[in-house]
Structure 1
Amino acid sequence: MNNKFTRIEIVMADVKEKIATVIYMPESRLPSIRAAAKDYGFSPSTVVEAYERLQTEGIIYSRPGAGFYVAETTAPLSLTDIAPKIDRVVDPLWVSRQSLEPPDGALKPGCGWLPADWLFEVGMRRGLRNVAKADASIISEYATPLGLLALRQLLTRRMAGLSINAEPSQIILTDSGTQAIDLIFRFLLTPGDTVVVDDPCYFNFRAQLLAHRVKVVGVPYTPNGPDVDAFAAILDEHKPRLYITNAAIHNPTGATLSPATAYRVLQLAQAAGLYIIEDDIFADFEVKPAARLAALDGLSRVFYIGSFSKTLSASLRCGYIAAPIEWVGSLVDLKIATGFGGSQLAAAVVFSALTDSGYRKHMNDIHTRLASARTHTLPRLAKLGIVPWLLPQAGMFLWCRLPENNNATELANRCLSKGVVLAPGNVFSQSDNAEKFMRFNVAQMSHSKIFEVLAQSMT
């Protein structure tokens, strides 16, 4: 009896997952009892009971003589229910929660930002004082739909330094880089579309796509960018709508996109009708500028986004989208529909901080501190048998392979119980094939306890 009940649960869970990920669309017909029984390898009576229980829950309904159908109204979206039923530590939402609200006294070498005392606090305080003295409308009124003109003009000049040609009218300020991505997802995607991500990729890309109920396919990432042969095969087989990637410094690998790979990716994208989101949140960490898809593409099929949480402040939220001019109006409509007016205050403070005479020196100091942190971290990891996949030219991340017989998820669990928050490889991997990898943030690894806990926890 227990075995039969377990099989019923398997069928129910599979149907629910396929509905949540829009493999089974609302009002679509489920496989017949006979067909489902054959696919699952279970008896028809097991499938009948599973379907009947799903019908009782209001998830599906029957049409006499015609079979079972997906109900129009389904249960509220739960990202953790959609996600694979694996240990919570490899869930990107879990990692975010642990990093944002860690246990008391926890160290966070797995988080994706600089320590608070590394950020441009002096410039931000000056910016807040400057804005406090400005016209009262800055601190009391909604922003215009596109956002603060002075900041958009500054962004066009900054992008020009990367050979990205954009007018201020092509730039939309958002409440964050995350909101920028979400707006583009809302604009381009419908449930059931296919999106390509790097494998590995920034874990919140995966979490956001999960929320949009699309199919996600990973393309292997190399030290020069996505594997172009695999990329071409994915475009041919899956006909994806969108590809999302990092510009400049790749998260989590620290790799840099080569010009040759960038050209080939754009050629394939144009031939396939594929759109691209290029997330350049780490632009100011670069020492030597890398190729930008948005520059080579001329903002034709590429949406270029960024924000300032990594260099100025994670507390004052402000991001942006640079988009093809013909799509700006629709994106602005979505921005208003989902967030109404943006924050003039945040944009004004960010503008003041970026134009502060100390910002360039601040970033030069960050480059030096990160280089020093890498120099000190690498040999300490090497003593534990942890080796980098590549030696990055800049940025805060090391994508490292663990010694044999060590599983990143299990190691992260053991370290968490000892007050150290890590970011195990499968958080970043769409194919779940990075169980031997861990992402380390060198800026967060000055405390000797991290290496002691690693040593105690490794097998």
Structure 2
Amino acid sequence: MSKPPTRIDAVMEAVRTRIASRAYPPGTRLPSVRAQAKAMGLSVSTVVEAYERLVAEGVLRARPGSGFYAAGAAAPLALAELVPRLDREIDPLWISRQSLEAGAAALMPGCGWLPADWMYEAGMRRALRAAARAPAGVLADYATPLGLPALRQLLARRMAATDVEAAPEQILLTESGTHAIDLICRFLLQPGDTVLVDDPCYFNFHALLRAHRTKAVGVPFTPSGPDLDAFAAALREHAPRLYITNSGLHNPTGAALSPPVAHRLLKLAEAADLAIVEDDIFTDFEIDPAPRLAAFDGLSRVIQIGSFSKTLSAALRCGYIAARADWIEALADLKIATTFSGSQLSAGILFDALTGSGYRKHMESVRLRLARAMAQTITRLRALGIEPWVVPRAGLFVWCRLPAGIDAADVARACLRDGVVLAPGNAFSQSQRAGGFLRFNVAQCSDERVFEVLARALSAG
């Protein structure tokens, strides 16, 4: 049986964590033993002993009369160590890992995608057969820097349906929506820059910003968009470089941006010279399209991104960026520098699937199924005392408040033991104030066992 950790162990683990996250690169002088003792509320002798043990391990080096310094080569970047170590059940990277690694028997109401049998399988198979008959160059050659012209023209027409005007030359194909944000972060941000995000927001925004060594600041999100008073205060206090959001079906809340909020938000952004990334990945799930910041702004400071991993196939990696022409030129150079070329084959398959006669009807069917699943899931959750924060007009997600006094992380841990993967609220919250919330994917809630396991976890809590 292992011994419980001591205060000395706590100091050693804190230092190791800072080194693993590169907060203490090699050669960095650590806080003095007195400063560390004061910061951690411990005795000086405890910190001295911890530092000495780390020296013995080769983690630190002591310089007489100078202090203690981080030793060795730079540690490999450990994203999980860049914030205080929470239980992995509420870490965004952990949720992604659990969802991606779950076996066939696992139930995943916390994941972010449709079940495989809801996807456009027939259209994908037709497109794959067409790709097999394509000329040799399509199967073997690199794509052009901006990507397949036919797909970019199609995307321009599709964006026009939400009043976003973008010429094909203003559209850059990427490997995915996440790759699109990664390129934008490389283009606009430097380590230490501040980025505003909704609180709550899609948890991988947090992970990606962490990887770019930026500071994320959460702005409370309301049923009609970000809290504008808090947004204005964050602009004054933090001078952010970028804001990342969903304007359509917001992830995780399912809310939609209102026109008045959109107009005021853009005025604030213009005054602060703030760039905005608008993630439009859920557009095909909307019944009545919400206003788009990119439409009001004319792609001046707003960059719109998207992909079709939620409606066509997550196995087919292809996304896009729509932005002003000079930014697209610079982003294309970054794309070449980091991936050299996109997948011409994937873009061609995506184009064929989207332009086939069945995609529109397929999505009509999906929207109807989601509407039924939303109503059924909310009814079942309410029977357990779980209430929606807002009833979404469409889409996959419903953001729910648990009964008072119940912690979502505890519920998630209990459900995980029974093979049910949930998405606890604090994984989405920069402020860590969503401990009483869960995000449910209604398309993944058809199995009765989801609610049986959830009921047991709630009663145990």
Shared fold, TM over 0.5: yes
| Structure 1 residues 13 and 187, CA gap change in structure 2 (3 angstroms) | farther
C-alpha separation in 2, matches of 1:371 and 1:322: 30
Shift of 1:328: 1.8
Match of 1:244, SS? strand
Within 5 Å, give how 1:176-255 maps onto structure 2.
176-255=176-255
| Structure 1 residues 20 and 323, CA gap change in structure 2 (3 angstroms) | farther
* 2:273 aligned residue: 273
* 1:398 aligned residue: 398
| Structure 1 residues 9 and 242, CA gap change in structure 2 (3 angstroms) | farther
Within 5 Å, give how 1:296-311 maps onto structure 2.
296-311=296-311
C-alpha separation in 2, matches of 1:282 and 1:206: 19
The one-letter code sitting in structure 2 at the alignment partner of 1:405 is G
| Structure 1 residues 240 and 414, CA gap change in structure 2 (3 angstroms) | same
> Does the CA-based 8 Å contact 2:198-2:221 persist in structure 1?
yes
Shift of 1:205: 0.8
The one-letter code sitting in structure 2 at the alignment partner of 1:445 is C
Output one character per residue of 1:1-56: Cα deviation in whole Å (capped at 9) or x when no partner. Answer: xx9x8444444444555566676677665544444443334344444455556666
| Structure 1 residues 278 and 69, CA gap change in structure 2 (3 angstroms) | farther
Output one character per residue of 1:91-116: Cα deviation in whole Å (capped at 9) or x when no partner. Answer: 11111121112144111111111111
**% identical aligned pairs:** 63
C-alpha separation in 2, matches of 1:341 and 1:57: 45
C-alpha separation in 2, matches of 1:70 and 1:231: 38
| Structure 1 residues 381 and 229, CA gap change in structure 2 (3 angstroms) | same
Residue 94 of structure 2 corresponds to residue 90 of structure 1: no
Residue 155 of structure 2 corresponds to residue 155 of structure 1: yes
Within 5 Å, give how 1:351-370 maps onto structure 2.
351-370=351-370
* 1:80 aligned residue: 80
Shift of 1:321: 0.7
The one-letter code sitting in structure 2 at the alignment partner of 1:336 is I
> Does the CA-based 8 Å contact 1:61-1:69 persist in structure 2?
yes
> Does the CA-based 8 Å contact 2:22-2:74 persist in structure 1?
no
* 1:453 aligned residue: 453
* 1:128 aligned residue: 128
Shift of 1:370: 0.7
Output one character per residue of 1:160-180: Cα deviation in whole Å (capped at 9) or x when no partner. Answer: 121111121111101111111
Match of 2:129, SS? helix
> Does the CA-based 8 Å contact 1:22-1:213 persist in structure 2?
no
C-alpha separation in 2, matches of 1:26 and 1:189: 24
> Does the CA-based 8 Å contact 2:386-2:403 persist in structure 1?
yes
C-alpha separation in 2, matches of 1:238 and 1:59: 34
Output one character per residue of 1:77-132: Cα deviation in whole Å (capped at 9) or x when no partner. Answer: 11222243222111111111211121441111111111111111111111112222
Match of 1:458, SS? helix
C-alpha separation in 1, matches of 2:212 and 2:101: 25
C-alpha separation in 2, matches of 1:247 and 1:20: 36
> Does the CA-based 8 Å contact 2:162-2:289 persist in structure 1?
yes
C-alpha separation in 2, matches of 1:317 and 1:67: 50
C-alpha separation in 1, matches of 2:19 and 2:164: 41
* 2:99 aligned residue: 99
> Does the CA-based 8 Å contact 1:23-1:192 persist in structure 2?
no
* 1:337 aligned residue: 337
* 1:372 aligned residue: 372
Shift of 1:456: 2.0
* 1:433 aligned residue: 433
C-alpha separation in 1, matches of 2:19 and 2:270: 32
| Structure 1 residues 32 and 419, CA gap change in structure 2 (3 angstroms) | closer
The one-letter code sitting in structure 2 at the alignment partner of 1:144 is T
| Structure 1 residues 236 and 436, CA gap change in structure 2 (3 angstroms) | same
Match of 2:249, SS? coil
C-alpha separation in 2, matches of 1:311 and 1:407: 32
C-alpha separation in 2, matches of 1:361 and 1:43: 69
C-alpha separation in 2, matches of 1:116 and 1:125: 14
RMSD of aligned alpha carbons: 2.5
| Structure 1 residues 322 and 72, CA gap change in structure 2 (3 angstroms) | farther
> Does the CA-based 8 Å contact 1:21-1:213 persist in structure 2?
no
Which TM-score applies when normalising by structure 2? 0.92
C-alpha separation in 1, matches of 2:144 and 2:55: 48
Match of 1:240, SS? coil
C-alpha separation in 2, matches of 1:70 and 1:302: 42
- Which stretches in structure 1 are left out of the alignment for 5+ residues? none
Shift of 1:133: 2.0
Shift of 1:454: 1.4
> Does the CA-based 8 Å contact 2:251-2:397 persist in structure 1?
yes
C-alpha separation in 2, matches of 1:302 and 1:161: 17
C-alpha separation in 1, matches of 2:324 and 2:13: 42
C-alpha separation in 2, matches of 1:173 and 1:57: 48
The one-letter code sitting in structure 2 at the alignment partner of 1:74 is A
| Structure 1 residues 327 and 38, CA gap change in structure 2 (3 angstroms) | same
C-alpha separation in 1, matches of 2:172 and 2:52: 49
Shift of 1:330: 2.2
* 2:421 aligned residue: 421
